[in-house]
């Protein structure tokens, strides 16, 4: 009987702890998803539901007018395309250069190895605005001012240090013995990198790619300062330009915000698969 009572009290305690845990998780979810849900709701509210005397939480007449209006604005599709292009190019450049550089620093012992890493990191220590004038002049001199390639190169410069540091960390975690075994089996150094190290570090490479993509997709300062024509501007500039001095079209801004997170969600969905797959491959081989 006493044992039964003990079991019952243990069960009810567990239920209480579960309930508390659910409440905490629910609070965290509300905190994390609240702004997103609010933005999504605002984007489908008519203007009369947005600016009201009393708060209107649920739209009375849901509408897609803000999305249509936004998409019909001149140049918006071009800017969206420009953002997709610069982001993709930045990710490719960063991963291409970063992978080789990080692998070299991780595997080779040479003079100035530590110095190179420090040098790369110092780039991040300066506020971006300080780099604007030299970057502007350099891009002008090589004819890449006001071009998407110039913008992607600039993003690469600023994303490289962090991606290098991250990738080096992931490569360090791959046991060198596996590579040695591959080389004994006849692999070249590059072959070992592509066939052994990169599959094992796939999760890290995917995480780095997500980080670079998010940074490049949302970047505003360089996108505004280093472009001089509508044809080479990117999506974050469109979003910023919606904020007028004396007018603030909340619905349009919310619709723009929703559109801008879609590519990131899609990209993350793909990267997440790679993250999981990379972990599993690593586990089996390890």
Does 145 help bind another protein (rule: CB under 8 A)?
yes
Does 153 help bind another protein (rule: CB under 8 A)?
no
| Shortest separation between residue 118's beta carbon and another protein, angstroms | 29
Query: Tokens 């110039």 correspond to what residue?
Result: 150
Q: Among 245, 262, 265, 269, which residue sits at the site for another protein (rule: CB under 8 A)?
A: 245
d(CA 234, CA 85): 9
Does 229 help bind another protein (rule: CB under 8 A)?
yes
| Shortest separation between residue 75's beta carbon and another protein, angstroms | 10
Does 57 help bind another protein (rule: CB under 8 A)?
no
- Cβ count within 10 A of residue 194: 12
Single out the segment in contact with another protein by CB under 8 A; choices: 18-26, 172-180, 200-208, 226-234.
226-234
d(CA 86, CA 234): 8
Does 249 help bind another protein (rule: CB under 8 A)?
yes
Identify the burial level of 284 via C-beta atoms within 10 angstroms of its C-beta, where 0-12 means exposed, 13-18 middle and 19 or more buried.
exposed
Interacting positions 185-224 with another protein (CB under 8 A): 224
Contact residues for another protein, defined by CB under 8 A: 47, 51-53, 129, 132-133, 136-137, 140, 145-146, 224-225, 228-230, 240-249
């Amino acid at each position: 009987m006493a044992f039964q009572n003990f079991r019952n009290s243990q069960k009810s305690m567990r239920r209480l702890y579960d309930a508390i845990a659910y409440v905490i998780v629910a609070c965290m979810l509300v905190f994390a998803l609240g702004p997103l849900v609010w933005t999504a709701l605002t984007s489908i509210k008519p203007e009369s539901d947005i600016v009201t005397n009393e708060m209107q939480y649920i739209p009375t007449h849901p509408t897609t007018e803000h999305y249509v209006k936004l998409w019909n604005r001149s140049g918006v599709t071009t800017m969206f395309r420009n953002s997709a292009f610069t982001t993709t190019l930045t990710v490719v450049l960063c991963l291409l250069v970063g992978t080789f550089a990080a692998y070299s620093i991780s595997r080779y012992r040479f003079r100035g190895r530590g110095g190179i890493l420090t040098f790369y990191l110092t780039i991040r220590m300066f506020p971006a605005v300080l780099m604007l004038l030299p970057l502007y002049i350099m891009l002008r001199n090589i004819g890449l001012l006001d071009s998407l390639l110039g913008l992607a190169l600039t993003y690469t410069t600023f994303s490289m240090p962090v991606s290098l540091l991250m990738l080096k960390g992931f490569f360090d975690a791959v046991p060198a013995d596996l590579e040695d075994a591959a080389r004994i089996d006849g692999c070249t150094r590059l072959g070992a990198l592509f066939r052994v190290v990169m599959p094992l570090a796939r999760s890290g490479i995917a995480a780095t790619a997500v980080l670079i993509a998010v940074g490049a997709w949302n970047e505003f300062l360089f996108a505004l300062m280093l472009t001089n024509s509508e044809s080479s501007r990117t999506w974050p500039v469109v979003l910023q330009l919606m904020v007028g001095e004396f007018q603030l079209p909340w619905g349009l801004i919310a619709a723009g915000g929703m559109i801008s997170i879609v590519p990131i969600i899609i990209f993350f969905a793909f990267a997440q698969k790679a993250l999981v797959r990379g972990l599993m491959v690593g586990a089996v081989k390890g």
